[in-house]
Amino acid sequence: MAAIHFLMRGDLSEIRCAGLCIQGSGENFRLTEVNCYNSTKEISPCDLILISVKATSISIYRACSTAPASAHDAADDAKWSWQRRISR
C-alpha cells in the first residue's frame, strides 16, 4: 500500500488531532491517522505529487504550473498532476 502524505498550511494541528474528513459524492469517511506536515523538508521522496489549492491561493498555482526543473528533479522524475480547484 502506498504512503500518502499531506503538505498543509492551515488546520495542521486540528487535522493531526481529529483526522481528515473526506466527503465524496457517494460516501464520506474520516482518516484518523494522517501523515501531514507543514514543510516539504519533512516529507520523503514521492512517486506522485498532486497539488491542489483553494481559490484564494490560485496565484500560487499559476506560479507553479510550469513545474520548475529544480522541483521536478527533486521529485526524481515524478509525474505532476494539477487540480485547479477544490471546494471545502
| Domain total in the chain | 2
59: pLDDT strictly greater than 70:
no
Q: Is the domain of 21 the same as that of 6?
A: yes
Report the share of the chain in percent with pLDDT over 70: 57
Give CA separation, 37 vs 8, 25, 44, 84, in Å. Answer: 6, 27, 11, 22
Query: Do 66 and 33 reside in the same domain of the chain?
Result: no
Residues 21-45 have a mean pLDDT of 87
pLDDT at 70 over 50: no
* pLDDT at res. 75: 43
pLDDT score of 49: 80
Residues 13 and 50 grouped into a single domain: no
Q: Write down the pLDDT at residue 77.
A: 38
Domain range enclosing 68 = 45-88
Same domain, 15 and 50: no
Cα 59 to the center of its chain, rounded Å: 16
Q: What value does the mean pLDDT take over residues 28-51?
A: 86
- 49 and 86 fall within a common domain: yes
Q: Band of the pLDDT at 44, cuts 50, 70, 90?
A: confident
The mean pLDDT of 65-77, rounded to a whole number, is 46
